Amino acid sequence: MSAFKKKTEINLLPLDTFSVGTFGRTLNWLLSTFRVIVIVVELAVMAAFLSRFWLDAKNSDLSDEIRQKEALLTASKQFEDSFNTAKEKIKIYGELTSSENRLSPNLINLPNLLPEGIILRSFNLSGPTTSLDGSAQTTEQIAQLMANLEATEKYKNPLLGQISLDEESRLYLFKIDIF
């Protein structure tokens, strides 16, 4: 048979003396490490980019929810304001009619004599004289209040002290002194 042929191996990769040294190995390690770091950073950037869509949807949902709750609060604000005003009036009335204050019994019946549209802003008790400050939408309402006061025996000599028109609110302001 034929003689053993010698196999020749061809190595196309050149021997690199640079990668054998310490500096070369360190540089190779750094380059391969930076490749991994670049890949990790790219993955983080892609995750941030993709999470942006989820965050935008969540932000939109939260904004819609805030607008809905804001509309609900706005719708109930008028009721809440009138409720708080009524509660405050009841509290003041309770304080005025409590046994500790002992107001004149004449003032307890005063709300029954007020015509529709009259608002009492304040009253002042000084000795036998009671002063009422209030506002009305029309002069007829003030005249009706005066007639109601004069018709009762409890209020003697009601006197309309002053009356003026508030230009801003278009209400008549008045002061009545009761002796």
Domain ranges within the chain, ordered by starting residue? 22-102, 104-178
Tens digit of each residue's pLDDT (9 = 90 or more) over 58-116: 999 999 999 999 999 999 999 999 999 999 999 988 877 775 555 555 566 778 888 88
In the CATH hierarchy, which top-level class contains the domain 104-178? alpha beta
* 44 vs 130, residue with greater confidence: 44
pLDDT at 32: 87
Nearest Cα neighbor of 107 from 118, 117, 122 is: 122
CA dihedral 62, 68, 73, 74 (to 10 degrees): 120
pLDDT at 68: 95
pLDDT at 161: 87
pLDDT at 144: 92
Tens digit of each residue's pLDDT (9 = 90 or more) over 43-57: 999 999 999 999 999
Which pTM value belongs to this model? 0.43
pLDDT at 4: 65
CA distance 132 to 124: 7
3-state secondary structure the chain: CCCCCCCCCCCCCCCCCCCCCHHHHHHHHHHHHHHHHHHHHHHHHHHHHHHHHHHHHHHHHHHHHHHHHHHHHHHHHHHHHHHHHHHHHHHHHHHHHCCCCCCCHHHHCHHHHCCCCCEEEEEEEECCEEEEEEEECCHHHHHHHHHHHHHCCCCCCCEEEEEEEECCCCEEEEEEEEC
Is residue 5's pLDDT more than 80? no
Is residue 20's pLDDT more than 80? no
pLDDT at 14: 59
Question: Which residue carries 């009422």 as its tokens?
Answer: 132
Average model confidence (pLDDT) across the chain: 85
